[in-house]
Amino acid sequence: MSARRHYAVPLPGRPPLLLGARTLVMGIINVTPDSFADGGERFDPQRAIADGLQMIEDGADLLDVGGESTRPGAEPLPADEELRRVLPVVERLAADPRVPVSIDTYKAAVAREAVARGAAIVNDVGGLRFDPELAQVVADTKAALVLMHNRGRSREMYREAVYADVAAEVAGELEEAVSRATAAGVAREAIILDPGLGFAKRAAHSYEALARLDAIAALDRPILCGPSRKSFLKEAIGDKAPADREWATAAAVTACVLFGAHIVRVHGVRAMVDVVRVADRVASAR
């Protein structure tokens, strides 16, 4: 485990996002009726806003708002419906100066409108593979960009979960995504990389990708990891419901920190803030 590098990621209309001194916690806000992790309890915009504000109080450093479920097998959502769900939430939470807001979308139209209403980061689960116009929107708005490793859309992603060397292939495909972004005019300094735990990966693939974050670190961009409540954890703990995977999530979050992640994306912010603080202290004592 090598020392984590430090970065300053530029954000539109806000100070740069400083990464490396400590691990940042990103709170997940799913404005969907079919979220695998929270059962759609934040489908009501007012509930989503209230929960987002509570996450800030609980110590979240960033908030990630999404309107389309990306669980395996999920159906695509029309952009107009996604906009209807997320824009009121993004606009209200982005008005709070304490934390930047990220829009979790792969659609250019949704990203453009969300950034216009204050989102500072675009979190793309497609790695710029799903909408050819998204990279240009990010370049034009100067939003930061999270590029997640994935293969295929939600309905067919597991068919693509075939690897000879998970760490090397994930890193190589993320490098290709970075090239797509920079070719469209996105500043390399604005890019954050995500190994895509659980996306187009069997459980063993996700564990290996997590354990080998050094392969992504070699690309010299900050790393975001999202292990929270995901199904790959069941291989270790048995067939528990998502809400019963918080202890397993805590273990995975700790591993993410120790292996070099700069940001962890989680559902249970209050508990995971404490987990991250202890893991950071362990890492700094090495």
Q: Which of 265, 270, 281, 286 is catalytic?
A: 265
Q: Which of 92, 112, 153, 230 is catalytic?
A: 230
Can you read off the two tokens belonging to residue 183? 């070719």
Contacts of 216 (CB under 8 A, 6+ apart): 170, 171, 174, 193, 195, 223
Q: Is 265 known to be catalytic? A: yes
**d(Cα 271, Cα 31) in Å, to the nearest integer?**
21
For the question of residue 230 being annotated catalytic, the response is yes
Instruction: Map the chain to HEC letters.
Output: CCCCCCEEEEECCEEEEEECCCCEEEEEEECCCCCCCCCCCCCCHHHHHHHHHHHHHCCCCEEEEECCCCCCCCCCCCHHHHHHHHHHHHHHHHCCCCCCEEEECCCHHHHHHHHHCCCCEEEECCCCCCCCCHHHHHHHHCCEEEEECCCCCCCCHHHHCCCCCHHHHHHHHHHHHHHHHHHCCCCHHHEEEECCCCCCCCHHHHHHHHHCHHHHHCCCCCEEECCCCCHHHHHHHCCCCHHHCHHHHHHHHHHHHHCCCCEEEECCHHHHHHHHHHHHHHHHCC
Residue position matching structure tokens 């590029």: 147
Catalytic machinery residues: 230, 265
